[in-house]
Structure 1
Amino acid sequence: MGGPVAMRNDSVPFAVDREVPGLIVKFGSYPLHHGGVGAIRSLGRLGVPMYAITEDRYTPAAASRHLTGAFPWPTTGAEDPERLVEGMLRIARRIGRPTVLIPTDEEAAVLIAEHQEPLSGAGFLFPRVETELPRRLASKQGLHELCVEHGIASPAASFPESYGDIKEFAATALFPVVAKNREAFTRRSRPAVNGTTRIETPEGLLGLARDWGERPGVILQEYLPREQAEDWIVHAYFDADSAPRAMFTGVKVRSWPPHAGMTANAYVVDNPELADLAARFIKQIGFTGVIDLDLRFDRRDGQYKLLDFNPRMGAQFRLFENESGIDVVRAMHLHMTGRPVPEGEQRAGHRYVVENIDLPALLAYRRSGYTTPHAPPRASGTELAWLAADDMKPFFTMLARFVRPGAKHLYQLWRTNRRGSTTS
């Protein structure tokens, strides 16, 4: 395949090592993941060989023309870690050369962090990080504790240990409140709630809590009213000194389910204050690697409150690219292969649209009358999550897998939202 070569993609030249492949690492069954497809395209277009762990051979990622090889491996994310590591080592032997790992979920990010020695010994390349930090960041309780420790604003939260604790909370809390699963990994097994759930009354909370068992694995959180808030995102890549090699900020215009789910439509918006806040927090905790942060700006007190810290590539990362053609996945691959990461301003005003969920999100947001003040009136350019002129098969594969079960799922989420509970 040749050695390091200067590649040009959309007039953005930089040196990339085509001898070092990338591997999309994902555990659990979520075949319609546009982030993985985006990463395959991002590096594949530069001539980097791309591999991916997939649910089967008929996922959008497996259909990409930029994919060198798929490793079909049905998992739930709840397997014994040693079994997952063994599977990763088998993949390393099949690839047969150093490979950059690109995790797309918390399970993968945590597994890599907690098994760095055997994975690096097999030839995998990834940013070294404190072993327990990704698990703590992926946990709602762990993240809240880190925010308190380092003076980062976050919604007020309670962590009940029993039904009695929930009764005490319900007697004094200001409603509505938000319930979330305390640990990220429960979404693959038996979650107490189906993602982020808004609860309107004490009676509603007590009714739900009866099904949470003796030790409810939830966090009860202050509700930040959408009329007084804006949703912001930060994507970045940090080196071994926790210094940003690539940093991007943007505003979320729509999500599905509405106001609490996956990004459906977003814009790149310059926000130096938010970038500085994120960089300071990362430096304080000593994180290394790719991050995807969700924050809500609370107009009532003028603070950015950290909601989620994903210690891995975010699904909408292709929203962000600088003037040198660098996104966070390219930044990681360049850095892991010992090459400089070109600097440049982010593409302010650029838009990202996830086709299969933005239409229902648009209808829901129009019904609610909600708008995002910081969204520019017109996009400077648009990146679609699925449709790409040079790689059409993932789009049609997505449609084939999405139409029937996807429509049913969207309808169920819509009904849930209409009843006043929002799920993500």
Structure 2
Amino acid sequence: MRVLIPDGESGHAIAVAQSLLLNEEVELYIMAQKKNPPSKFLKGCKAFKWIETTDEKSYLESILKFAFVHKVNIILPIDEASGKVFSQYKDYVEKFIPIIPLPELETFHLVTNKRLLAEFCIKNEIPVPMSWKLSEFNKELQVNDVQLFPTIIKPECGNGGKNIQLIKSKEEYLEIDFESLNKDFGDYFVQEFIEGYDIDMSVLCMNGQIKAYTIQKALLGRKSKFAAAAGIEFLENNELKKVVEKLMLQLCYSGIAHLDLRFDKKTNEYKLIEINSRFWGSLLGSTKAGVNFPYLCCKVRFNEEFEIPKYSKNRYFDIFSLLKRPYFFRDYNVKIKETNANFLFNGFLANAVNVFNRG
């Protein structure tokens, strides 16, 4: 099976590629809008091509031409931006080459907008934190300024915890100059801060039905309180799973997704925070646990039948985060096999380029 990754510049490209290459039947081809992305240097990459244009029509023509030359069987976009392009032009592209399952474009726009997603969930009785537009929150503040804090302000879009702030008091909120905030990821809104803990679910769906999943709870955080965890443990949680099953069915969702949820200690329920319609930072953890999401995306697209994979209830740590704080090796009794060290070694050159590029 010849798989083409069209967005090899993605920060998740190495993890996706290495997961795919665990299967001997896979031949990997990579394109990117950067000349020398780290993924280009993976030894399993059969061919690489730089995409010289950002015009959507030329972008797709360049990808299709490369795919024809190398007799590619399927296209596997990684990030949301490329996923949206292929979702929009799915009917055209699939006249020539299949694409892995993707959400409909309207669904893409809904789930990647945190405020619209919260409104959808409220309408469909999915537990979410209370949310307000800035104008609504300011009116609420005049009436009920005691129970509203701590609270969170965040942009409607974006990922990685960027531009999210925890506001502890009314005074702190009133000092914010919203006009000066970075608007690259949309307008800001306010969301209730949930006292509890983070827990996530990664899924592969087809028409709202879950075909594969893992559930993981944060063990080790990063410097940013709102960034993805550096250490996780895999577990089962039927209550959380039911929430996600209901939501995916209502969205009639197709494709992969990583759902961030938080357990609310006050209401004793799991509340959805956001959905990332792309591959995620702990993907190699899911792969090590026994669920190879990139490979399963291809199998689902080709209508290959398989049972929902079972996964190991193990732990997974990002070794770079541990090396920055080596005492965590001792505090968490981390074993090398619980990290991504084997993937870093196998893709040494690509990962070395990645580290160099990050400075």
* 1:147 to partner: Cα distance: 0.9
Q: d(CA) in 2 for partners of 1:363 and 1:168?
A: 47
* 1:160 to partner: Cα distance: 2.5
Cα pair 1:293 1:308 within 8 Å, conserved: yes
Cα pair 1:155 1:222 within 8 Å, conserved: yes
Specify the alignment match of 2:166 in structure 1: 198
Q: How does 1:5-404 map to 2 (within 5 A)?
A: 18=1, 20-25=2-7, 33=11, 35-47=12-24, 48-73=26-51, 83-96=55-68, 97-127=71-101, 129-160=103-134, 167-171=138-142, 172-173=144-145, 174-184=148-158, 194-206=162-174, 207-212=176-181, 217-225=187-195, 229-240=196-207, 242-321=208-287, 325-351=290-316, 353-360=317-324, 381-384=337-340, 387-402=343-358, 404=359
CA 314–120 in structure 1, closer or farther in 2 if over 3 Å, else same: same
CA 130–385 in structure 1, closer or farther in 2 if over 3 Å, else same: farther
Q: What 5-or-longer segments of structure 1 have no aligned partner?
A: 1-17, 188-192, 405-424
Q: d(CA) in 1 for partners of 2:10 and 2:254?
A: 28
Deviating beyond 4 angstroms after TM superposition, the runs of 4 or more aligned structure 1 residues are 358-364, 376-381
- How big is each residue's C-alpha offset from its partner over 1:167-200, in whole Å with a ceiling of 9 and x where there is no partner? 4354434222211111349x9xxxxx94321123
Q: d(CA) in 2 for partners of 1:122 and 1:266?
A: 40
CA 91–44 in structure 1, closer or farther in 2 if over 3 Å, else same: same
Cα pair 1:354 1:386 within 8 Å, conserved: no
Q: d(CA) in 2 for partners of 1:117 and 1:135?
A: 18
Cα pair 2:74 2:298 within 8 Å, conserved: yes
Q: d(CA) in 1 for partners of 2:107 and 2:60?
A: 21
Identity of matched residues, %: 15
- How big is each residue's C-alpha offset from its partner over 1:340-393, in whole Å with a ceiling of 9 and x where there is no partner? 335432111131x223344557889x9xxxx9xxxx977794241784333211
Cα pair 1:104 1:314 within 8 Å, conserved: no
- What letter is aligned with 1:156? M
Give the alignment's Cα RMSD to 1 decimal.
Answer: 3.2
Q: What 5-or-longer segments of structure 2 have no aligned partner?
A: none
- What letter is aligned with 2:300? H
Cα pair 2:5 2:75 within 8 Å, conserved: yes
Q: d(CA) in 1 for partners of 2:110 and 2:78?
A: 17
- What letter is aligned with 2:14? V
CA 102–321 in structure 1, closer or farther in 2 if over 3 Å, else same: same
Specify the alignment match of 1:11 in structure 2: none
Q: d(CA) in 2 for partners of 1:204 and 1:363?
A: 34
| Number of residue equivalences | 349
